[in-house]
Every structure is written in C-alpha cells, then in structure tokens.
Amino acid sequence: MFDRSRKGERALLLQAQAPGQHDPALMEEFAELARSAGATVVATLGARLERPNPRYFVGVGKAEELKAHKIASDADLILVNHTLSPVQERNLERLTECRVVDRTGLILDIFAQRARSHEGKLQVELAQLRHMSTRLVRGWTHLERQRGGAIGLRGPGETQLEIDRRLLAERVKQLQKRLEKVEVQRAQARRSRERSALPVVALVGYTNAGKSTLFNALTGAGVYAADQLFATLDPTLRRIDGLECGPIVLADTVGFIRDLPHDLVAAFRSTLAEAREADLLLHVIDASDPERDTRIADVDRVLAEIGSADVPQVLVYNKIDRLEQEPPPLLLDRDGPLRAWVSALDGRGMDGLRASISKALSSERLHRKFTLPSASGRLRARLHALGVVASEQTDADGWVIEIDAPRALIEPLFGLPGGDGEWLKAALLAPTHRATYNRSRATRA
C-alpha cells in the first residue's frame, strides 16, 4: 500500500464526457474549483465515456494513461469531475499510487475551508462524515485487525473497520442533535421576524455570480466578497429601509453549483431554509457569463430540490460593467419574473433593482389598516396568533390594526365562519386603506 501525500497541491484533473460532447466550460469550472481548494493545476486529461466502468470509472486504457500523466506531471493529487463510487476511487488510488478525490469530495473540502460559524462547521462536518461513511470498505489493512479481548471476553473480537463505522455513526448522531438545536434557534429568529411583519428577501444564485458584493451594495454590511467559488458560506441578514414597500430583511445565502452534493444540501437545510421561506428571491446572475442560461437552470433545479420553486423571483443580471452594451435597468416579462440589470461593483441599475423589489413584494403582500370593535376579540386574537399585526392602537371604536404580511399567510383566514372571513377579505382587498368592522354585515368606510 502506498503512502498518501499530505501536500495536495499539484493536481491532475480528469474530465469525462459522453461521445460527441465537448464543453470546455466544464473543465474551466472544475479547474476553478481546484484552485479554490488551494490546489495548483499542473495537467488536465479528457476522456470519452459512454458509461462508467465499474472498476476504474474510465476504461482500463484511459486509467493507464491517467497514471502516465500523473508521473509525467509529478502530480500528487488526482481530481475527477464526477462522483466516484468507493470501489472506483480505491482502485484508481491503487493503480496510480496517488490520492484520488471526486467532485463531491472536492466541494466538501472547499466548504470545510470556508465555514466560519459554529453552525456552518457542524453542517460541513456532517456532510463529510456521511460521504466518508461510504468509503470505509476494507481499503486499508489496519482496518482488518481484530480488537484484542480480556480474560472472560475472548472471542472473534471486533474489527477496526467495525469500530470506525460505529464511532462515525455516533458522531453523525451527535452532529444531527446539535444541528437540530441550532435549527430550532434559527426557526425562533425567523418567527420573530414574521411577527415584526418584515418581508424576507433572499439572495440566491450560482456561485461567484456576485451575491455578496450585491448584498454589500444594498446594505453596506461589509460581508467578505472575493472573485472565487464559495467565497462565503454562512448566511447574513440585514435590514434595509427606504424602499417603497417599506423595510425588508435581506438574506445572503450560500451559492449553488451544478451537481451540488446531496449530502451537502441535506446538511445545509437550515441555512437554505432562508431561501425556502423567503417572501421573494433575488436570483443573481452573472450577465457576462456565456453560460448564464445554463447557470439559471442549475440554480432552479437546486431551488426545486430544497422546496423553493414556488417562491417569487426577481432575475438580477449582475456585472453589467463587463458588457459591451448596457441593457435597460428594469424589464418585465408578460408571463415571467421581473428582470433587473445592475452592477454591484459601480452601482449602476441599483435604483431599478430597488424598484423591482418593491413592485414584486407589493403583489405578494397585503398592507391594510382597519378598525375592530372591542367585541371582535376572537378575530383580533387570530391575527395576533399569526403574527401579521404590524401595529395596533385603540380609539373610541375599538382597535385600529395595521396588517402587513404575506398574502399566503392571511388568505386562509378568509374562510373563517360567522362572517369574519368574508369581512376580512373585503377589508384587506378593498381599494381603501381603512375599514370598519361590523359583525352583522361587512361595511367599508
């Protein structure tokens, strides 16, 4: 058995594509992933692949060629732009006498380097352990040794492999319990924001599309931003005032990428909940990227996977400073989402973006003020229980209540019995901003 290199700096990249397909962008993105992990790309190798070889992923001849390239380039790490099975990874390592890391392992390594918060570190470790658990399959001789017994406890013993699996499973359970506690705390903070009636707008998009730079431009938060993949992982929330729709909470989330590991999506479920439970998504797109339509489809697939497919979107085409012709600041498709064209770097188009946020939220939220008499405490209690009351005052007629909340949260109340639901629907959907409650019949003043 060979000694695994601990340097991990000189990387040979392997990119396999189906016959007839040739997309240089795939290798370019994978090389950028490798550099983001701290590796130096010293050589690349392409391969035609109709179907994965169960032994080496690629054919035997290409595997031998990979070994020759590794020797010629003096690489100490082979990165494969595909998910490998444990057997394929182990066989390639034995053949090339070199450490082999697949796409999933590379992305997990980048996340492990970039995680800063306690929650982020727990999420990354959980995803890494889940990935590692599939690799504990008799790959090393020390895992086959028997554990010695004491007097009265002699027997076949427990193999080191079984001990490692048990310890790993116990650690996974510990991490899951810790993350459940963190998720409860995040859910409480989210409910607190809902009670304050502030709409939540989440930034989503392909990694390196400029989300953090745009977040800083909108909020002045000073969040770390760099021209690299997955520059920031931990979500950041800031309040924004001065919009026509009123104050909002803006959330910066982790960037997406094609073939994002499922274990990573599962581990980051509480972080991605900011996107799942947002009132509006700002889908940030690199306008200068020739593959931007493909990037949009990749992000939409991840959004569907985490349950955010139905959340309204504003398509924000960022980095227009790199375009030869400057597009209009704001566009509205007849049957599609709003589109804003901005440069988070120099500030162009930011007014149009703010206008598009207000326009999109105004159609998804209900903001009304009405008066409830003191006898209508049941309806008032329901409104407070939902956390949709933005402000409340008392006068001679009862309670003057201001509602500001997502339409989807309030609409179930329209079915309340006893005329309450019908009156509330008329009061909130009426053109006037002030209504007076009458239990016997609905009236608008």
- Report the pLDDT value the prediction gives residue 440, as an integer from 0 to 100: 39
Q: Report yes or no on 442 lying in a domain.
A: no
Q: Report yes or no on 3 lying in a domain.
A: no
Pairing relation of β-strands 280-286 and 338-341? Answer: unpaired
CA–CA separation, 234 vs 118, rounded Å? 9
The reply to whether 89 and 204 lie within a common domain is: no
Nearest partner of 52 among 92, 96, 104, judged by Cα: 92
The reply to whether 44 and 120 lie within a common domain is: no
- Report the pLDDT value the prediction gives residue 339, as an integer from 0 to 100: 85
The reply to whether 206 and 186 lie within a common domain is: no
CA–CA separation, 120 vs 117, rounded Å? 5
The reply to whether 240 and 178 lie within a common domain is: no
The reply to whether 191 and 231 lie within a common domain is: no
- The amino acid present at 359, given as its one-letter code, is K
The CB-side HSE value for 345 (13 A sphere, CA atoms) comes to: 11
Domain range holding 400? 373-436
The CB-side HSE value for 100 (13 A sphere, CA atoms) comes to: 28
The reply to whether 31 and 168 lie within a common domain is: no
The reply to whether 49 and 138 lie within a common domain is: no
Q: Answer with the one of 305, 329, 363 that is the final residue of a domain.
A: 363
Q: Report yes or no on 238 lying in a domain.
A: yes
CA–CA separation, 41 vs 30, rounded Å? 10
The reply to whether 105 and 120 lie within a common domain is: no
Q: CB-based contacts of 442: which residues, under 8 Å, 6+ apart?
A: 419, 422, 423, 426, 427
Phi then psi dihedrals of residue 164, to 5 deg? -60, -40
Number of domains in the chain: 4
Q: Whole-prediction pTM value?
A: 0.66
Q: Report yes or no on 106 lying in a domain.
A: yes
Interval 34-69: pLDDT, tens: 888 888 899 999 888 888 888 989 899 999 999 999
Q: Are 271 and 256 in contact (CB under 8 A)?
A: no
The reply to whether 119 and 218 lie within a common domain is: no
- Report the pLDDT value the prediction gives residue 338, as an integer from 0 to 100: 82
The reply to whether 80 and 223 lie within a common domain is: no
**SS3 call for 143:** helix
Interval 108-121: pLDDT, tens: 888 777 776 677 77
- Report the pLDDT value the prediction gives residue 189, as an integer from 0 to 100: 64
- Report the pLDDT value the prediction gives residue 37, as an integer from 0 to 100: 83
The CB-side HSE value for 439 (13 A sphere, CA atoms) comes to: 10
Q: Report yes or no on 339 lying in a domain.
A: yes
The reply to whether 219 and 188 lie within a common domain is: no
Q: Report yes or no on 4 lying in a domain.
A: no
- Report the pLDDT value the prediction gives residue 241, as an integer from 0 to 100: 84
The reply to whether 330 and 210 lie within a common domain is: yes
Q: Report yes or no on 368 lying in a domain.
A: no
- Report the pLDDT value the prediction gives residue 395, as an integer from 0 to 100: 84
Residues of the chain with pLDDT under 50: 1-8, 138-155, 432-445
CA–CA separation, 80 vs 59, rounded Å? 14
- Report the pLDDT value the prediction gives residue 92, as an integer from 0 to 100: 92
CATH code of the domain containing 16: 3.40.50.11060
CA–CA separation, 437 vs 444, rounded Å? 8
CA–CA separation, 292 vs 353, rounded Å? 19
Pairing relation of β-strands 10-17 and 40-48? Answer: parallel
Q: Report yes or no on 151 lying in a domain.
A: no
